[in-house]
A and B are shown apart, each in its own frame.
Chain A
Amino acid sequence: MFGLKADWSLEVPPRYYTLEDYAGGEARWCPGCGDHGVLNAVQRICRDEQIPPEKVVAVSGIGCSSRFPHYMGTYGFHGLHGRALPVACGIKSRRPDLHVWVATGDGDCFSIGAGHWIHAVRYNMDMTLVVFDNNVYGLTKNQTSPTSRQGLRTNTHPFGALLPPHNPLTVTLGITNVSFVAQTVDWHPAHLYATLRAAFDHKGFSFVRVLQRCPQYTGQVFEDLQKDPAKLLLLTHNDGIHLEESSLKLFPTRHNHDPSSMSGAHAIAAAVEPVPVGLLFRDPARPRYETLSSEGLDMATDAKLAALERTFDQFAV
């Protein structure tokens, strides 16, 4: 940090970026909303990694969490409901030099954008997907989401959500070419930061589900987990997400899980309780689509014109 290296030499970067460089408009989420914590963590990671702000693109769909790009001081793309991922993949396809964060919600990602979620995981392009999962539609005022617990009363299901919730972890783990799956919670800032940092560092598509509270509609949905931290299962491993000792103490239930084990990850994800936090799966060796889609980027004009002439030759008479 601050350019001070292990041998006590000081590396002076051309410009040192501070948190302010990553700050956009003032966040207008409700007080107490979990989104603020995610925003802080992402800005800190950018600062700690010293990524030039102009090289960062925050992409989102529609929903409360999709306001995220407006509060970043980087480039941003606030697009259509459910469609953040195709845009993010398109950005990365011919600009692999850009760092892409995707902010989405449980409705945006798991419902209207479900098709893109499945395929973006398979494309495995190097970017971080943060799903702000508050179990409800907030912006449109309290409708059932795919992760709403059965029985949750909402404006669309006033007598309670009809079906058991979708399990995004098992679904994501089941997608071919998945390379990074993690889960964290908004009320443990240290774990949130460590998880997003590991996701950012991963070369490939990082899926991070953040369990977070909507103070307006679902302030109580994770109350049981907060009151009884033993219901959270902290995943620990040498290759996993690391916490300081002081933070570790907050998680009485722990499980040593090797993130290279897909069968272990499935078993953990499929259990209703305890709720896992940490790294479920990581495989940095899986093929990344942008290495294919960016082929030919450096082709010189002369070479391109010559190749075009050869292409035309095939139709010449």
Chain B
Amino acid sequence: MNLADSLETGENQVAGPGANVQARRLDEAIVEIVSDSGEGAQKAGQIFGMISAKMGNGVWTVEIIPAEIKPPARSREGASGIRIRFGSQYITNMGDEADLVVAFNEQVLFGRIANGAFKPGTVVLLENKWREAQVPAVAEQYQAAVQSFREQGLIVHELPMEAACLELTPNPRVGKNMFVLGMLCFIFSREVERAYQEVRQIFAKKDAKVIASNEALIRAGYDFAREHLELCFEVPSEPRSQAMLVTNGNQALGLGVMASGMELLAMYPITPATAASHYLAGAFRKVGGFVHQAEDEIAAIGFAIGASYAGKTACTITSGPGLALKTEFIGLAVMTEIPLVICVVQRGGPSTGLPTKVEQGDLLAALYGEPGDAPKAIMAAATIEECLHFVVTARRLAEAFRTPVILLTDANLATGVQPYPRPQLSADWLAPPIDQSAWQEGVPPYDWDATTGISPRPIPGQAGGEYVLTGLAHTFKSKVAYDPESNQRGCDMRSRKLAALQSTLKPPQVNGDPEGDLLIVGWGSTLGSIEEAVGKARAQGHKVSSVHLRFLSPLEPGLKEIFSRFKNVLTVEINYSDRPEVPLMTPETRRYAQLAWLLRAHTLVDIDCWSSVQGQPIQPGAIHAEIVRRLQGEVLCSA
């Protein structure tokens, strides 16, 4: 039962916090806090999400970030905040419309309404000080907005939150977020003591007065909600036996870098990848690692390649424009078989594009960005947990196959926060000490195995292994060679490694029945939304399944066989594709979404795609609607 329905029917009532309060039981809830930038909505939401995770709920939080650092106050585009989806079960995505939103002014709500964040029945807790604003235009704006919200079916509660805070702090702009946190703790039956604990941890290095003041605001918000609102819900959780971590995707990448045994991150600031480097900048040295902030994106990867060449496999983390700048060096790393991990936190493109927003637009650039043939391993994390584990895998693959590995994540994973099982660390994850023993006499620097293309690599310091790495075409002895056979041979051997890697992979698991009317294929951060939508459609009797790819180069084996068992195959992606119904579009001119391009070429299956580039995660409701639309025959699929 969702929040709006529970308010309608009054069912599922259970005893709530405090003797006289009845709480309504929910399976899950989606809450937003939106404000002008700088009012602390994100901090309050992060704490709320953390409390929920610690109480054993499934949680997904996603930040609502304006493009500018200080957008004008009370502007629709300036909406800044956070969404927290939490429930009794594991939560894998941001969900659809919010159940409840706390807004610090009415204008930022318009920004969220434009993004489809709410539905009729969504409860709005709105700061009401603007009703009495001294500037008449502001008061008029506010009243018109409230009327408009109610006409749209939103349940608006106008609340004097700021006035209540003023009793405790002279500057409510700084403290109101904690008051709101307290309100939410009451509304959703969170243990308020847990909120105090979080505040004490966050402000551990500050004055005791700061902590006391924040605790007082939380308590005041809690009491305020109890006294003024008849809203009280419970989202039960199962106690967990397993130890869990709660991080966002960028922190998970950072943890992965450390757990992989890599010792060097060379980076240049770029949104949204930089937060991973920020995290490592503080943490890496504690485990013996170093973050090098290079003078530019090119130098960052060059530095990492230098360290890798010298035996210390290194990592660079970037986003689209940085990936473009690194292209020439990636080609060199492929050509000279340097192990290297390149994490790409994708954002909207092309060019500067949408720096803070999500897109899966770098797949083909990662695959084919370099001039000439540059085969390399490419993986994509589908969950925040995978952001951690895939870095560990990437380092090992890079060394085993003597190749750069690109790990794709995106802005949705980067800022999403989710609990996941704490990994059991192992010394096997760490890189072994570099080999400085004498190089075996007579073994050339590229002693390619004719079947796999794999060869051992001399590390500087190994006597007898002295060779000159070159980006020029070269023989197995690393001698510059312009003859036809040598270049063909080198290209063959480098490509052969991908075939060897593929031979070690298993076919992907199908979510749902192994055959049916429609197969959804996805990659990256859309996993949770796709599986939720497919699950809902299957529960309604639709014969739909999904498959999610983790390896994009080489592709996982068995895809064609899996596809052949479905009447239609559709990729769902957050990147550009031509819609078939637009002017001038023919099957010959239509440009497909990136994974669809790739799969069509690899399997010769007539795969369709459904994608968009609106800078937002694809929500389960939208995917579900598309599944139903296709399966009800509204779309005559090409197959």
**Which residues on A are within 8 Å of B, measured CB to CB?**
24-25, 52-55, 57-59, 69-70, 72-80, 83, 85-95, 97-98, 115-116, 118-119, 292-297, 299, 301, 303-305, 307-312, 315-317
CA distance A94 to B315 in the complex (A): 13
**A90 touching B288, Cβ below 8 Å:** no
CA distance A311 to B285 in the complex (A): 11
**A87 touching B467, Cβ below 8 Å:** no
**B263 touching A315, Cβ below 8 Å:** no
- The bracket for how many chain B residues form the interface is 35 or more
CB neighbours of A89 from chain B (8 A)? 303, 306
Given A80-B332, A301-B430, A98:B310 Cβ within 8 A: yes
**A310 touching B299, Cβ below 8 Å:** no
Given A75-B468, A87-B309, A119-B295, A93:B247 Cβ within 8 A: no
A-B contact pairs, 20 of them (CB 8 A): A24-B468, A54-B463, A55-B460, A59-B306, A70-B468, A76-B468, A78-B471, A80-B328, A83-B298, A86-B302, A86-B303, A87-B309, A98-B310, A98-B461, A115-B295, A119-B299, A304-B287, A308-B425, A312-B422, A317-B53
CB neighbours of A315 from chain B (8 A)? 245-247, 251, 255
CB neighbours of A69 from chain B (8 A)? 468, 470
CB neighbours of B469 from chain A (8 A)? 76-79
CA distance A293 to B244 in the complex (A): 32
CB neighbours of B255 from chain A (8 A)? 311-312, 315
**A308 touching B290, Cβ below 8 Å:** no
**A93 touching B287, Cβ below 8 Å:** no
Q: Which residue of A lies closest to B248 (CB)?
A: A315
CB neighbours of A295 from chain B (8 A)? 285, 288, 290
Q: Which of B54, B292, B328, B427 is A93 in contact with, Cβ under 8 Å?
A: B292
**Which residues on B are within 8 Å of A, measured CB to CB?**
50, 53-54, 243-247, 251, 255, 258-259, 261, 263-264, 266, 283, 285-290, 292, 294-296, 298-312, 314, 328-329, 332, 419, 422-423, 425, 427, 430, 458, 460-472, 479-480
CB neighbours of A312 from chain B (8 A)? 245, 255, 422-423, 425
**B479 touching A299, Cβ below 8 Å:** no
**A90 touching B310, Cβ below 8 Å:** yes
CA distance A69 to B423 in the complex (A): 44
Q: Which of B246, B332, B480 is A79 in contact with, Cβ under 8 Å?
A: B332
**A54 touching B290, Cβ below 8 Å:** no
CA distance A78 to B50 in the complex (A): 50
CB neighbours of B50 from chain A (8 A)? 317
**A94 touching B466, Cβ below 8 Å:** no
CA distance A97 to B465 in the complex (A): 17
Q: Which residue of B lies closest to A311 (CB)?
A: B283
CA distance A115 to B303 in the complex (A): 14
Interface of B is mostly: mixed
Q: Which of A58, A115, A292, A316 is B299 in contact with, Cβ under 8 Å?
A: A115
**A88 touching B306, Cβ below 8 Å:** yes
CA distance A261 to B419 in the complex (A): 60
Q: Which of A83, A93, A301 is B307 in contact with, Cβ under 8 Å?
A: A93
CA distance A78 to B419 in the complex (A): 46
Q: Which of B244, B314, B329, B466 is A80 in contact with, Cβ under 8 Å?
A: B329
CB neighbours of A309 from chain B (8 A)? 425
CB neighbours of B305 from chain A (8 A)? 79, 87, 90
**B292 touching A293, Cβ below 8 Å:** yes
CA distance A24 to B470 in the complex (A): 14
CA distance A75 to B261 in the complex (A): 25
CA distance A115 to B292 in the complex (A): 16
CA distance A52 to B465 in the complex (A): 12
Q: Which residue of B lies closest to A24 (CB)?
A: B468
CA distance A310 to B543 in the complex (A): 47
CA distance A316 to B420 in the complex (A): 10
CA distance A115 to B294 in the complex (A): 11
Q: Which of A95, A116, A317 is B460 in contact with, Cβ under 8 Å?
A: A95
Q: Which residue of A lies closest to B333 (CB)?
A: A79
**B245 touching A317, Cβ below 8 Å:** yes
**B290 touching A317, Cβ below 8 Å:** no
CB distance from B366 to the nearest CB of A (A): 19
Q: Which of A77, A85, A301 is B468 in contact with, Cβ under 8 Å?
A: A77
**B264 touching A299, Cβ below 8 Å:** no
Q: Which residue of A lies closest to B307 (CB)?
A: A90
Given A77-B469, A83-B298, A305:B285 Cβ within 8 A: no
Give the interface centre of A70, A92, A95, A309 by most chain B CB atoms within 10 Å: A95
CB neighbours of B427 from chain A (8 A)? 301, 305
CA distance A73 to B283 in the complex (A): 40
Q: Which residue of B lies closest to A57 (CB)?
A: B460
Q: Which of B243, B264, B299, B468 is A94 in contact with, Cβ under 8 Å?
A: B264
**A95 touching B310, Cβ below 8 Å:** yes
CB distance from A73 to the nearest CB of B (A): 6
**A293 touching B290, Cβ below 8 Å:** yes
CB neighbours of A317 from chain B (8 A)? 50, 53-54, 244-246, 419
**B310 touching A57, Cβ below 8 Å:** yes
CB neighbours of B292 from chain A (8 A)? 90, 93, 293
**B302 touching A90, Cβ below 8 Å:** yes
CB neighbours of A98 from chain B (8 A)? 310, 460-461
Q: Which residue of B lies closest to A299 (CB)?
A: B288
CA distance A29 to B288 in the complex (A): 44
**A307 touching B468, Cβ below 8 Å:** no
The 3 closest A-B pairs by CB, nearest first: A90-B306, A296-B288, A86-B302
Q: Which residue of A lies closest to B432 (CB)?
A: A301
**A94 touching B312, Cβ below 8 Å:** yes
**A308 touching B470, Cβ below 8 Å:** no
Give the interface centre of A90, A119, A297, A317 by most chain B CB atoms within 10 Å: A90
**B425 touching A87, Cβ below 8 Å:** no
CB neighbours of A293 from chain B (8 A)? 264, 290, 292
**A316 touching B258, Cβ below 8 Å:** no
Given A93-B292, A115-B299, A308:B259 Cβ within 8 A: yes
CB neighbours of B283 from chain A (8 A)? 311
CA distance A78 to B445 in the complex (A): 15
Q: Which residue of B lies closest to A97 (CB)?
A: B461
CB neighbours of A95 from chain B (8 A)? 307, 310-312, 460-461
CA distance A296 to B255 in the complex (A): 17
CA distance A146 to B546 in the complex (A): 58
CB neighbours of A299 from chain B (8 A)? 287-288
Q: Which residue of A lies closest to B283 (CB)?
A: A311
CB neighbours of A88 from chain B (8 A)? 306
CA distance A317 to B46 in the complex (A): 14
CB neighbours of B310 from chain A (8 A)? 57, 90-91, 94-95, 98
CA distance A312 to B423 in the complex (A): 9
**A55 touching B461, Cβ below 8 Å:** yes
CB distance from B439 to the nearest CB of A (A): 8
**B285 touching A296, Cβ below 8 Å:** yes
A-B contacts besides A78-B470, A91-B306, A293-B264, 17 pairs, CB < 8 Å: A70-B468, A76-B468, A76-B470, A77-B309, A79-B469, A85-B302, A87-B303, A89-B306, A90-B307, A92-B306, A94-B290, A95-B307, A98-B460, A299-B287, A311-B255, A312-B245, A316-B245
CA distance A34 to B261 in the complex (A): 45
Q: Which residue of B lies closest to A92 (CB)?
A: B306
CA distance A93 to B305 in the complex (A): 11
**B307 touching A91, Cβ below 8 Å:** yes
CA distance A153 to B245 in the complex (A): 66
**B419 touching A74, Cβ below 8 Å:** no
CB neighbours of A118 from chain B (8 A)? 295
**A75 touching B287, Cβ below 8 Å:** no
CB neighbours of A296 from chain B (8 A)? 263, 285, 287-290
CB neighbours of A119 from chain B (8 A)? 294-295, 299
CA distance A118 to B299 in the complex (A): 12
CA distance A115 to B296 in the complex (A): 8
Given A94-B263, A311-B287, A54:B296 Cβ within 8 A: no
CA distance A309 to B259 in the complex (A): 10
